[in-house]
A and B are shown apart, each in its own frame.
Chain A
Amino acid sequence: MENTYNPMELMITIAARNLEDGAMVVVGTGVPVAAAMLAQMTQSPNLTILFEAGGIAPLLPTMPISVGDSRTTHKGLKATSMAEIMELCQAGIVDYCFLGGAQIDKYGNLNSTLIGDNYEKPKTRFPGSGGANDLASLCWKTMVVTPQNKKRFANKVDFVTTPGFIEGGTSRVDAGLPANTGPYKVITDIGVYGYHPDSKAMMLLSLHPGKTIDDVKANAEFEVIIPDNYETTVEPSELELKLLREKVDPSGVIIGRG
């Protein structure tokens, strides 16, 4: 059957499906936490949610507005420090992290620090890494959810805040980052992307219904690898949409933006 949904609802649903039962994920506010909540309500009741400020395994009553507010420890298992959360990631127990950013390049490097070419006097200053660099360095798999356009999918990010595959190939491990970690998927309003196993360059995995390869190309400054066997994204089900609209984000704070 055909459902009507907006791009935000689609991205959250895809992100949720990528979090399997029993996994541990560090999330931020907005799309990531919505995806984790939806995953818990569908296929992954035993998904452990962590917040970088110190909240561990809350039973989230509503979406938090800060990754450190009281909601992030509501009926949780532990309230701890930021150091301990990052230490868990560094120790290797955390499967996923979810990130965004102003720009991403073809190796999944992210910029959330500044726009411009003068570090001392940037054109636009953004918050910086926050925990993003730590999480992307230390968790096993990094997922990025972002609307896609030519400005965001940049040939070269103005500042590598957060590591993806750096310059591709083995450069991430050569830089000293833990082996077998790195970018996993990028979920946009056009498609879902992974990374080529050798070159580590971004590669189309599935195209959303109604989108075309031309849309992919027109909305990326770099060349996205288009394999012969990409799939079509499965649309959100009636149940997923119902849970998302009625339980996860009833006031439409996030999905209203779609």
Chain B
Amino acid sequence: MSDKQLKKGIGELFTSPNADDMRAFLKDKSKQMKNKLSSVSEAIDQFVKDGDYLAIGGFGGVRIPTALIHEIIRKEIKNLGFAGHVSTHDCQLLSAGKSFNRCDAAYIVGLEARGLSKNSRRMFESGNVKVTEWTNGALSWRFKAAAMGLPYLPSRTMLGTDTFKRSAAIEVECPFTQQKMAALPALYPDVAMIHVHRADVHGNCQIDGILVADDDIAKASKRVIITTEKIISNEEIRREPSKTVIPYWCVDAVIEMPYGSYPGNMPGEYFSDEEHLADWLKAEKDEMQLEEFIGHHILSSKDFYEYLEKNGGMNKMRKLMQAEHLY
């Protein structure tokens, strides 16, 4: 190491990286393979409370648990912390609900090629949200460290940048090679919400396509709520055990929610509704208009089915299925 001075990020660490806390929690957690079927409303009442630290599965506009996030807005749950691990439409929703006050940010306020969310920007430019800076790799490895039951993992990312300076990572010297590494603190969320393709009533889950970080997030989180396109039998899970990405013991609630990733993409099932996402971005330009938009789509919808109906229902879903399969 030519630069001996080891640096420390000045960002706030929002969650404890202590692996023993999670060990104690898991020791007492029920490992019974019981029926965990629930509803969106019940699951949010039971497992998400003001001030919790939240991890959302999927990739912002791909395989996201939209119904659960809507419910957080409807139930006016506030002061959440969340992992902005490519948080696009989910960040947009949580901003619309003014649901959080702290964020581990790797990718926030944008919707990739679609543009920036004006309202998410308002939220993050207000000065009312505490932010600690990370990268996609760093947050992935923070979840992985937690999934491994460790307090941290070394990595070679973020070194030498302001991203590191505003993170809560700490430079360490490798005890074997004496090289400088960034130690990434394990991230143990209070609650994770993940949308999957198929699950049985016990919470054994199958995911098609990219995993993003969801296998690790499920293991890292104290409580896990699953929405699934479809409930399948335990027999079907046992027929192909290599397909089980999330095992039952991680999971607290299972909700059948067809089209649950809408307006996001669900790999192999339906493509994202780009028109509706464009409407979102448009509505955000004006705060009054946004209030009306959220009122119409989320607050006045009694459940996710009503939201789907308002956006074209089955007819629209067929079109998105065709788009997914490039017809």
Contacts and interface: CB of A to CB of B under 8 A. Distances in A.
B113 A162 contact: no
Contacts of A90: 137, 155-157
B180 interface: yes
Given A79-B210, A83-B216, A175 B159 contact: yes
Contact of B61 (A62, A69, A133, A173): A69
A177 B133 contact: no
A105 B157 CA distance: 20
Nearest to B105: A128
Nearest to A161: B163
Contact of A176 (B114, B180, B215): B180
Nearest to B141: A83
A129 B86 CA distance: 10
A113 B109 CA distance: 10
A93 interface: no
A53 B62 contact: yes
A89 B157 CA distance: 10
Residue of B60, B121, B159 with most chain A CB atoms under a 10 A cut-off: B159
B244 interface: no
A177 B179 CA distance: 9
Interface string A61-105: 110011111101100000111110010011000000000000000
Contact of A54 (B106, B112, B138, B211): B211
Given A68-B210, A70-B265, A174-B3, A127 B163 contact: no
A161 B159 CA distance: 11
Q: By DSSP majority rule, is chain B's interface helix, strand, loop, or mixed? A: loop
A83 B137 CA distance: 6
A211 interface: no
A65 to B, nearest CB: 5
Nearest to B122: A125
B162 A70 contact: no
A176 B209 contact: no
B268 A127 contact: no
Interface residues of A, number: 59
B144 interface: yes
A89 B137 CA distance: 10
Nearest to B214: A81
B267 interface: yes
B324 interface: yes
A194 interface: no
In the complex, the 9 A-B pairs of residues with the closest C-beta atoms, listed nearest first: A175-B160, A176-B180, A54-B210, A68-B59, A134-B137, A86-B137, A127-B110, A121-B127, A130-B107
A223 B136 CA distance: 33
A47 interface: no
A30 B181 CA distance: 32
21 contacts: A29-B113, A54-B209, A66-B60, A66-B112, A69-B61, A79-B210, A81-B213, A82-B212, A86-B140, A90-B156, A125-B108, A125-B121, A126-B116, A127-B108, A128-B135, A129-B133, A129-B134, A133-B163, A160-B162, A177-B160, A178-B156
Interface of B: 1-3, 58-62, 84-86, 88, 105-110, 112-114, 116, 121, 124-127, 131, 133-138, 140-141, 143-144, 155-163, 166, 171, 179-182, 208-213, 215-216, 265, 267-268, 271-272, 274, 324, 326
Residue of B105, B134, B156 with most chain A CB atoms under a 10 A cut-off: B156
A131 B121 contact: no
A12 to B, nearest CB: 15
A9 to B, nearest CB: 18
Given A70-B271, A128-B106, A129-B163, A86 B157 contact: yes
Nearest to A83: B140
A137 B58 CA distance: 24
A86 B141 CA distance: 9
A160 B140 CA distance: 21
Contacts of B162: 113, 159-161
B217 to A, nearest CB: 10
